[in-house]
């Protein structure tokens, strides 16, 4: 791992650690605000919960504790709002980084993240807390800029292995962030916090930890991260005849080379295909993720601790797969084929979830095993799909072409600039994350879990079957060893 790669990985760990701390607290935070603001029926939170309850009652009427369902649903809707803001802002963050530099734009987004955490720390009303989430959604550019930075400093041959560190950081932080957030939420605030007399959020402890982590990350980036825009890593000369399946290799005299530099039109078309695939996949997958806790609550009567253990196990398996399998196999398999394997694994997991509800009453042990098998399949999906598609997208906007007559560099197409292209790619996925849980919840409450997961499985199999243009290998003209 090179120096810049280490800096990016460590900064991502700090950033995603801060991002995952509040995840398990959303329902409890909303419950706290509900108690504080329930006396005002015309207040912002009361009107918001009434709207959520009205929409939910059209689809599903729980037999007990309907307010709890409304609070859980509102927490999910807040996640959708965050993703929708990311869908809007990601292309602009990417374009600005192409123009002004990755480091400068990254530090500006860090200021926004710090402001978001500070607003959360002092938010004593639901409206102010929602404001903190809006600021965070418009400021979160760390992941996409980290991908752009890694694309700047790696060659096509090493790109997928470097980008796997992003997935590993996600897996690590989703394992440790939520439990630590829950731990600090249960601890009383130090007396120094309350001595000032300023009223703070009920979960000021986790909020303060988030502020500290983001401040450390900002200082670390100021001193450790160099500017990488325009500083491409040296690579072997690409083979002569166009794009292939990401890291598809040609071999000659013991030398392996990567060839994926097609015409501008081909690369733009491939980016469009990858954006559509990213949107469709995350639209289905995020809905499955969101409804999984409904399933365990409904059928197994699981609490936060058991759900946390399930999500943590998925993260651990995902991290092991990324570090032990994906990074090593990507260059042999190719990004497109690796993504297809992950999507197919998700489809199989959804088949298990489709069968599971029919086994709970008479065969509870089998139902539990089906849930565990589905979790393993989801871990495979988490370890492969987004990282592979991202690496493949980055390969479409890597090199500036050279005029064969003059030997001079030809100005790259603006839509192939790394920041803009990868920002639009991330934006497409965030749009899927914004709307996927809404459709999944509506289906879950209207048609039940079995039919919801069956339709999702068919959708995943269809996405996998439609990946021919992404997984197709083309003939590579080998080059002689230097």
Q: Which of 414, 417, 426, 411 is nearest to 396 (CA)?
A: 417
- Could you tell me the CA-to-CA distances from 296 to 336, 351, 384, 449 in Å, in that order? 33, 16, 25, 11
Q: How far is 349 from 343, CA to CA, in rounded Å?
A: 10
Q: How far is 468 from 26, CA to CA, in rounded Å?
A: 40
Ordered per-residue pLDDT tens for the chain, 482 residues: 688 999 999 999 999 999 988 877 877 788 888 888 878 888 898 899 888 888 878 777 776 667 777 877 787 788 889 999 999 999 999 999 999 999 999 999 999 999 999 999 999 999 999 999 999 999 999 999 999 999 999 888 888 888 888 988 988 888 888 888 888 888 877 776 666 667 888 889 899 999 999 999 999 999 999 999 877 665 544 433 344 454 444 443 343 334 345 788 889 999 999 999 999 999 999 999 888 877 887 788 886 677 777 877 888 899 899 888 988 888 888 999 999 999 999 999 999 999 999 999 899 999 999 999 999 999 999 999 999 999 999 999 855 444 556 655 455 678 888 899 999 999 999 999 999 988 888 888 888 899 999 999 999 999 999 998 888 753 333 334 43
| CB 248 within 8 Å of CB 331 | no
Q: How far is 214 from 135, CA to CA, in rounded Å?
A: 14
Domains in the chain, start-ordered, CATH in brackets?
A: 3-229+264-472 (1.20.1250.20)
Q: How far is 367 from 302, CA to CA, in rounded Å?
A: 14
Under 8 Å CB-to-CB from 48, ≥6 apart: which residues?
Answer: 74, 126
Q: How far is 242 from 265, CA to CA, in rounded Å?
A: 12
């Amino acid at each position: 791992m090179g120096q810049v790669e280490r800096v990016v990985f460590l900064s991502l760990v700090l950033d995603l650690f801060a991002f995952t701390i509040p995840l398990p607290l959303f329902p409890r935070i909303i419950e706290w605000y509900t108690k504080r603001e329930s006396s005002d029926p015309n207040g912002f939170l009361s009107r918001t919960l009434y709207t959520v309850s009205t929409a939910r009652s059209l689809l599903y009427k729980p037999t007990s504790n309907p307010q709890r369902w409304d609070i859980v649903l509102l927490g999910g809707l807040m996640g959708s709002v965050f993703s929708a803001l990311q869908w809007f802002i990601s292309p602009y963050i990417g374009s600005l980084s192409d123009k002004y530099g990755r480091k400068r734009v990254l530090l500006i987004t860090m200021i926004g993240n710090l402001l978001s955490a500070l607003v959360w720390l002092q938010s004593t009303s639901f409206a102010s807390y929602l404001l903190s989430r809006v600021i965070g959604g418009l400021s979160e550019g760390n992941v996409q800029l980290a991908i752009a930075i890694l694309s700047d400093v790696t060659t096509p041959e090493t790109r997928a292995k470097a980008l796997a560190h992003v997935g590993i950081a996600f897996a690590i932080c989703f394992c440790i962030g939520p439990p630590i957030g829950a731990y600090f939420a249960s601890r009383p605030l130090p007396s120094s916090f309350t001595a000032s007399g300023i009223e703070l959020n009920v979960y000021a402890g986790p909020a303060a930890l988030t502020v500290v982590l983001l401040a450390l990350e900002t200082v670390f980036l100021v001193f450790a991260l160099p500017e990488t825009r325009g500083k491409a890593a040296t690579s072997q000369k690409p083979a002569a005849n166009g794009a292939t399946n990401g890291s598809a290799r040609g071999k000659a005299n013991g030398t392996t080379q990567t060839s994926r530099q097609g015409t501008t039109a081909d690369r733009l078309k491939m980016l469009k295909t990858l954006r559509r695939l990213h949107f469709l996949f995350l639209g289905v997958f995020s809905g499955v993720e969101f409804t999984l806790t409904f399933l365990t609550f409904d059928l197994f009567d699981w609490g936060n601790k058991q759900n946390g253990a399930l999500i943590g196990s998925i993260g651990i398996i995902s991290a092991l797969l990324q570090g032990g399998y994906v990074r090593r196999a990507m260059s042999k398999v190719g990004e497109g084929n690796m993504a297809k394997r992950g999507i197919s694994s998700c489809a199989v997991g959804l088949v298990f979830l489709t069968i599971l509800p029919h086994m709970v009453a008479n065969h509870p042990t089998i139902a539990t095993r089906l849930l565990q098998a589905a979790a393993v399949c989801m871990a495979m999906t988490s370890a492969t799909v987004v990282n592979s598609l991202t690496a493949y997208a980055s390969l479409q906007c890597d090199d500036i072409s050279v005029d064969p007559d003059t030997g001079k560099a030809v100005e790259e197409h603006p839509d192939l600039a790394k920041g803009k292209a990868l920002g639009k790619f991330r934006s497409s996925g965030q749009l899927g994350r914004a709307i996927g849980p809404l459709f999944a919840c509506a289906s879950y409450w209207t048609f039940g879990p079995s039919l919801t997961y069956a339709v999702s499985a068919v959708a995943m199999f269809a996405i996998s079957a439609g990946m021919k243009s992404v997984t197709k290998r083309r003939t590579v003209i080998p080059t002689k060893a230097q």
